[in-house]
């Protein structure tokens, strides 16, 4: 197995099982040397906790990057999650150029929206900057809402396969190379992921769990990147990540006290087994 070097850039919620507290252990479990660049530090995530602390680390990012460049440090992949500002997006675009190593892959999770709406911290100006980052990346992992904001297409809660096909084509026409479109379900009891690249579409359907869990998008994206960097195809990596995420939700769903995330750690042996 090739020993790959992956950098992930996103915030760190110290408690809450999301962002970097998910990405670091999952990527490490996949067998990769994992470096992190926190875009902000929060005491907890923002969904359900009150009075959380927040420290923006935007001004630290250029100096960290410059130090790495000076030291000749490069990465085989850079994977981004939640980015808090247009300024951070601009810094990441520079990282893609300055820190790219052998067989480099750039992967962007445009974490900015869900259920038809942008997250409260973002506006149309942020969307325009995210478009530039997403369409410069090798792989993007949007949900349907984020894909609609990236394309300007109307968001629909109820849709058919033709609607998804149009959305994928518009993403491709705008510059997306490989799209991993998550949360695509055509029946009430199923959902899935569509992988679209070079005009080829592959769909993986799995069980839909009605009870939502915070941080599952980060679990999915991290598991996808970990599998991809192990040499899996985009489709196989998408399938492994989907199955692993479902296992994590199933492992948590009966524990009402664990409302703030999913118990992904006990399922890591399953993930490692699937990686082969």
Amino acid 120: pLDDT: 86
pLDDT tens per residue across span 219-246: 999 999 999 999 999 999 999 999 999 9
Query: What pLDDT, on a 0 to 100 scale, did the predictor assign at position 26?
Result: 98
What is the structure's pLDDT at 214? 87
Quick one: pLDDT at residue 209? 85
So what's the pLDDT on residue 127? Answer: 97
What pLDDT is stored for residue 213 in this prediction?
82
Can you give the pTM of this predicted structure? 0.97
The sheet carrying 139-140 orders its strands as 54-56, 33-44, 5-15, 75-80, 100-108, 139-140, 178-182, 190-197, 200-207
Whether residue 65 contacts residue 36, with contact meaning beta carbons closer than 8 Å, is answered with no
CATH number of the domain encompassing residue 190: 3.40.1190.20
Residue ranges in the chain modelled with pLDDT below 50: none
Count of domains forming the chain: 1
Give residue 1's pLDDT: 59
Question: So what's the pLDDT on residue 128?
Answer: 97
* Secondary structure letter of residue 271 according to DSSP: H
Domain of residue 251, residue span = 5-275
């Amino acid at each position: 197995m090739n020993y790959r070097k992956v950098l992930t850039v996103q915030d760190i919620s110290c408690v809450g099982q999301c962002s970097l507290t998910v990405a670091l252990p999952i990527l490490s479990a996949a067998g990769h040397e994992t470096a992190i660049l926190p875009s902000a530090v929060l005491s907890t995530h923002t969904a359900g906790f009150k009075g959380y602390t927040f420290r923006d680390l935007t001004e630290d990012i250029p100096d960290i990057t410059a130090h790495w460049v000076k030291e000749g440090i490069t990465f085989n992949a850079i994977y981004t999650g939640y980015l808090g500002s247009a300024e951070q997006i601009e810094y990441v675009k520079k990282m893609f150029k300055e820190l790219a190593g052998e067989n480099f892959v750039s992967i962007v999770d445009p974490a900015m929206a869900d259920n038809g709406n942008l997250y409260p911290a973002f506006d149309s100006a942020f969307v325009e900057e995210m478009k530039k980052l997403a369409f410069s990346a090798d792989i993007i992992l949007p949900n349907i809402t984020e894909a609609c904001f990236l394309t300007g297409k109307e968001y629909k809660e109820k849709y058919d396969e033709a609607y998804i096909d149009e959305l994928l084509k518009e993403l491709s026409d705008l510059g997306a190379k490989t799209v991993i479109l998550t949360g695509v379900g055509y029946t009430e009891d199923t959902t899935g992921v569509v992988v679209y690249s070079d005009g080829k579409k592959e769909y993986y359907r799995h069980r839909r769990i009605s009870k939502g869990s915070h941080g599952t998008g980060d679990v999915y994206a991290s598991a996808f990147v970990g599998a991809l960097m192990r040499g899996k195809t985009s489709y196989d990596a998408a399938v492994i990540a989907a199955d692993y995420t479902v296992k994590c939700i199933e492992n948590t769903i009966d524990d009402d006290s664990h409302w703030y995330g999913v118990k992904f750690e006990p399922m890591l042996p399953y993930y490692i087994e699937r990686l082969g």
